[in-house]
Amino acid sequence: MLAPPPPYHLRPMTMADLTAVAAIDHLSFPTPARPGLYEHEIADNTLAYYQVLCHDNQVIGYAGYWLIGDEVHISTIASHPEWRGLGLGELLLLNLLVLAYTHPANIVTLEVRQSNYSAQQLYLKYQFEMVGRRRRYYRDTGEDALLMTAPPLDARYYQFLERQKEQLFRRLMGEE
Ligand SMILES: CC(C)(COP(=O)(O)OP(=O)(O)OC[C@H]1O[C@@H](n2cnc3c(N)ncnc32)[C@H](O)[C@@H]1OP(=O)(O)O)[C@@H](O)C(=O)NCCC(=O)NCCS
């Protein structure tokens, strides 16, 4: 788990976080997670890893993935709308990629809505590539999902993550 500059703090999601997580979820996705989903993920799903990002003690973002063999599949990532544009979505993604590297996993995949430009830009910043399309994947809007993958989680990519981390932490400390 990354240790960002205080008062930011990353830690595993717990049951006590679920009200705050649900509030961010409702503000972030066209169709929020079904009731009980995160309870199940935390309590029952041994493949699931979820983290929250806090500012002091306030939960302002969360992210999660499933570890299946040597593949990490990002299931969700969101920052609170009032905290966007500050590098915090990036912090959540970077943390997740570092966790993936240390498992160790080799592959990172995710699906993103075709219309979700901001998220796609975030993934492109981390050198993800579009490798496929799932037609009409999202039942609420009938939208396609773009399937994206990170570069292989090797030493070269880890060095890139280290450089990104240094830059991001300087930004979070107000030095950039
Ligand atoms: C996607 C999301 C997590 C980004 O969070 P954020 O805290 O605003 O992102 P950051 O400030 O860390 O931005 C990191 C990078 O993302 C991209 N980005 C973020 N917002 C963007 C925007 N409005 N337009 C273009 N690119 C954007 C940029 O590449 C940015 O890097 P930069 O700061 O060097 O320009 C956030 O918009 C969100 O929670 N959206 C709703 C939930 C969602 O769609 N999740 C993704 C599901 S696949």
**What is the tens place of the pLDDT at every residue in 100-118?**
999 999 999 999 999 999 9
Domain for residue 15, yes or no? yes
Residue with the smallest CA separation from ligand 1 atom 31 is 122
CA pair distance 6, 13, nearest whole angstrom: 18
Asked if residues 67 and 54 have their Cβ atoms less than 8 Å apart, the reply is no
Domain for residue 2, yes or no? no
Per the structure, the count of domains in the chain is 1
pTM listed for this prediction: 0.98
Domain for residue 44, yes or no? yes
| Secondary structure (3-state) at 98 | helix
Residue with the smallest CA separation from ligand 1 atom 44 is 119
Distance of CA 40 from the midpoint of ligand 1 (Å): 27
**What is the tens place of the pLDDT at every residue in 140-165?**
999 999 999 999 999 999 999 999 99
Q: Which of 22, 44, 124, 37 is nearest to 75 (CA)?
A: 37
Asked if residues 139 and 113 have their Cβ atoms less than 8 Å apart, the reply is no
**Residue 113 per-residue DSSP state:** E
Q: What is the mean pLDDT of residues 6-30?
A: 97
CATH number, domain containing residue 26: 3.40.630.30
| Secondary structure (3-state) at 78 | strand
Domain for residue 74, yes or no? yes
| Domain with 77 in it | 8-172
Domain for residue 1, yes or no? no
Domain for residue 148, yes or no? yes
**Residue 35 per-residue DSSP state:** T
Asked whether the predicted pLDDT for residue 175 surpasses 90, the reply is no
